[in-house]
Amino acid sequence: MTDRTDSSRKGFLRRLPPNALMGIVLLGAVLLFAAVFAIKAMIAKGTNDYFDNMSQPAVAVTDYTAKAERWRENGEAVGTFVAVNGTDVTAEAGGVIREILFQPGQRVKAGTVLVRLNTANEEATLRALEASARLAVQQRDRWRELGVQKLVSQSEVEERATQAATTLAQVEAQRALIALKTVRAPFDGVLGIRKINLGQYVAPGDPLVNLQALDPILLDFTLPQQRLSQVAEGSVVRATLDAMPDRAFDGTIVAIEPQVDPQTRNFKVQARFVNEDLLLRPGMFAKIAFDLGGDRSVVVIPQTAITFNPYGNAVYVIEEVKRGEGEKDAQGKPATGSKLLVRQRFVKTGATRGDLIAVTEGLKPGERVVTSGLLKLRNDAEVTVNNKVQPAADAKPSPGNS
């Protein structure tokens, strides 16, 4: 019976057209692959449902309660120190250097002789001119006497007087040339490194040494045009330098540029600083703070609570919410009571002071914000709070173990 059945099946398959047989095989393969993908999709869906419904562990963070404070409004800027007077001392006349009478870094007074050039040739010429001048003066005086006696004409008297005046002027010009070959400090200041050597020939205008007047010293900085009515001559400014972070220098505004730059819409301000110890040098970069007057109420939080982004600054605000019925914790155990969730909120920020920053919009006093662990957070994430170190509004904060 079985042999007949197998024979009939084989006969049936032999009688099928080749295309129908191929279609049956393809249909079977499609059904097999469909079953495999269906099983895989069911497994993936179950896995996703498990992880979607699984409770996420709470993120440990620190927090800070936003509070209202009254801050005196301050302005900030950056600037560069410049000397009241500063120049490369040069020779007005050419010549060979005979004496160098200064040391690099020396403090000098105005009029101090720095360099003398060789003047042997000019002094010989001066002696010849002085001799000619003496003779011209004698002839002028003699011709005047003769003119009084009507022995010579008045034109001859005037000619001799002109010759005498010319030779005397030549003498003075030669003395002035010799004086130019003695180079003196044009103002009080500190000398730099010399740029010359003994016996070297220098042409008129060649630099010999740099001289800078360092006490007092000026600080130039710029402010936006909105600040024009908020600064005035005589106002006190405070400068800090990266080179000396533990010191601050107080100065006074001495000049305000009357014109606003049409390209940048900024105006220049200049302040004067006493610099007896010569710590401040021309070219140094400085950060400037100045009082704009008037107190204002601000909402302050730590700067670490702010996420600074090109599209806007944001904070994570902590909210306490009640747990739902049947809600489980991260270990899968039933949980009751309340929990802390965070939600991101965009804010506008203002001035900074120490570790704190003013929030001008988007936050109210009393709201709690996350101050650390921001990279691990997302909206509606559960957190736990552990506060040990709190920021302060100290303008010059220092580590606790210093």
Domain count along the chain: 2
> Is 326 a member of any domain?
yes
- 311, 379: one domain: yes
- 68, 148: one domain: no
Q: What is the pLDDT of residue 218?
A: 92
- 300, 381: one domain: yes
CB 254 within 8 A of CB 242: no
| Cα gap 75→289, rounded to integer Å | 6
| Average pLDDT over every residue of 177-184 | 82
Question: Which residues have a Cβ under 8 Å from the Cβ of 293 and sit 6 or more positions away?
Answer: 72, 73, 230
61-83: pLDDT as tens digits: 888 888 888 776 667 788 889 98
> Is 10 a member of any domain?
no
Asked if residue 127 has pLDDT above 70, the reply is yes
CB 208 within 8 A of CB 88: yes
| Average pLDDT over every residue of 185-193 | 89
| Cα gap 228→222, rounded to integer Å | 10
> Is 132 a member of any domain?
yes
Closest to 212 (Cα-Cα) out of 314, 94, 81? 81
Can you give the residue range of the structural domain that contains 305? 59-72+296-385
Sign of dihedral through CA atoms 196, 198, 199, 203? positive
Query: In 86-213, where does DSSP find H-type helix?
Result: 120-148, 154-180
Average pLDDT value for the chain = 79
Q: Domain with 367 in it: what CATH number?
A: 2.40.420.20
> Is 164 a member of any domain?
yes
Largest CA distance in the chain: 180
Higher pLDDT, 248 or 386: 248
Asked if residue 400 has pLDDT above 60, the reply is no
CB 260 within 8 A of CB 266: yes
| Average pLDDT over every residue of 207-215 | 89
> Is 328 a member of any domain?
yes
Domain boundary among 180, 197, 217: 180
Asked if residue 401 has pLDDT above 70, the reply is no
Asked if residue 306 has pLDDT above 70, the reply is yes
> Is 21 a member of any domain?
no
Q: What is the 3-state secondary structure (H, E, C) of 215-238?
A: CCEEEEEEEEHHHHHHCCCCCEEE
Q: Say what percent of the chain tops pLDDT 90.
A: 2
Asked if residue 295 has pLDDT above 80, the reply is no
Locate 343 and state its tokens.
Answer: 């939600």
* Burial call 222-247: b when 16+ CB within 10 Å, e when fewer: ebeeebeeebeeebebbbbbeeeeee
Q: What is the pLDDT of residue 399?
A: 57
Strands 285-302 and 244-256 come out as unpaired
Domain boundary among 162, 180, 198: 180
Q: What is the pLDDT of residue 395?
A: 57
> Is 137 a member of any domain?
yes
Q: What is the pLDDT of residue 402?
A: 45
DSSP-based three-state secondary structure for 69? strand
Asked if residue 314 has pLDDT above 60, the reply is yes
pLDDT band for position 31 (50/70/90)?
confident
346-370: pLDDT as tens digits: 988 887 777 888 888 888 898 988 8
Q: What is the pLDDT of residue 244?
A: 83
> Is 35 a member of any domain?
no
Q: What is the pLDDT of residue 71?
A: 75
Within 13 Å, how many C-alpha atoms sit on residue 107's CB side?
A: 6
Q: Domain with 128 in it: what CATH number?
A: 1.10.287
